[in-house]
Amino acid sequence: MTAVITGATQGIGKAIAERFAQAGFDLFITARSNADLIALKNEWEPRFKIKVFMKVADFGKKSDVVLFAEYIKSNTKSVDVLVNNVGQYMVGNLFENPADKLVEQLNVNLMSAHYLTSALMPVFQAQKKGHIFTLGSLLSVRLRESAANYTISKHALRTWHQLLFEYAREHKVKATMVLPSSTITASWGDQPNEEEFIQPEHVAEAIFDCYNLSGAAVVDEISIKTISKKLE
């Protein structure tokens, strides 16, 4: 069994990768820090008795995404799970940031998922099985004026997933979008009420449970909210 997880060295991505590693999946992981990737490989391979394939990549660059896809296909014939997790949060109202910052957000938050999924789709089609997870956000369905570019990119990502869902099911491939609200990660800094946040492990467990749903059933979308409404 093989799982591909992007942005796998911290936060939600790390929790997802570790959950699949616990279940015996070999991993293909990527991030921008080589040191972080090596540390996880050195920890998880002996601990979980799996193989961890790693490659540094900047998912804001199409060339890096394509090279990562080629690396995957050169080292395995099958992929059971793909998790499009990479994302970048940017603050600022609609015209506060330069226009090219919107392009940057779209490249990281939308196009990277499209490039990687497109490159691996022939593998899924040949298998006639597999599960593609895409990490969205509560802002995939809501507006936040103070994070306009991020909101635009996440709304676009949800529309992309909806089209992917219909395409994938024609090939017996499952696709699920995950919409977590405030999840405690390093990007939040120090939080005095951390217990009110969703934990990355909660998101990982929801994804793993969804993957294990048997038969022809597939969950189209998972919305995970914090018990504290003020954090939405």
Around Cβ 87, how many Cβ atoms within 10 Å? 25
pLDDT band at 230 (very low <50, low <70, confident <90, very high): low
Helical (H) or strand (E) element with 131: strand 131-135
Residue with token string 């790390």: 14
Query: Which pLDDT belongs to residue 211?
Result: 96
Query: Which pLDDT belongs to residue 143?
Result: 86
**According to CATH, what is the number of the domain 2-231?**
3.40.50.720
> Considering the chain, what is the average pLDDT of its residues?
91
Nearest by Cα to 17 from 45, 189, 67: 45
Q: Where are the domains of the chain?
A: 2-231
Query: Which pLDDT belongs to residue 50?
Result: 97
Q: Is the pLDDT of residue 228 over 80?
A: no
Query: Which pLDDT belongs to residue 83?
Result: 98
Distance CA 219, CA 221 (A): 6
Q: Is the pLDDT of residue 231 over 60?
A: no
Q: Across the strands, what pairs with 134? A: 84, 177
Provide the whole-model pTM. 0.91
pLDDT tens by residue, 90-120: 999 999 999 999 999 999 999 999 999 999 9
Q: Is the pLDDT of residue 150 over 80?
A: yes
Q: Across the strands, what pairs with 37? A: none
User: In sequence order, which ranges of 96-173 are alpha helices (DSSP H)?
Assistant: 99-106, 112-127, 148-169
**Of the listed ranges 11-15, 62-66, 159-163, 227-231, the one predicted with least confidence:** 227-231
**Of the listed ranges 30-44, 55-69, 171-185, the one predicted with least confidence:** 171-185
Which tokens is 216 given? Answer: 């022809």
Q: Is the pLDDT of residue 84 over 70?
A: yes
Query: Which pLDDT belongs to residue 225?
Result: 80
pLDDT tens by residue, 165-200: 999 999 999 999 999 976 666 554 555 456 677 889
Contacts of 128 (CB under 8 A, 6+ apart): 171, 172, 173
pLDDT band at 229 (very low <50, low <70, confident <90, very high): low
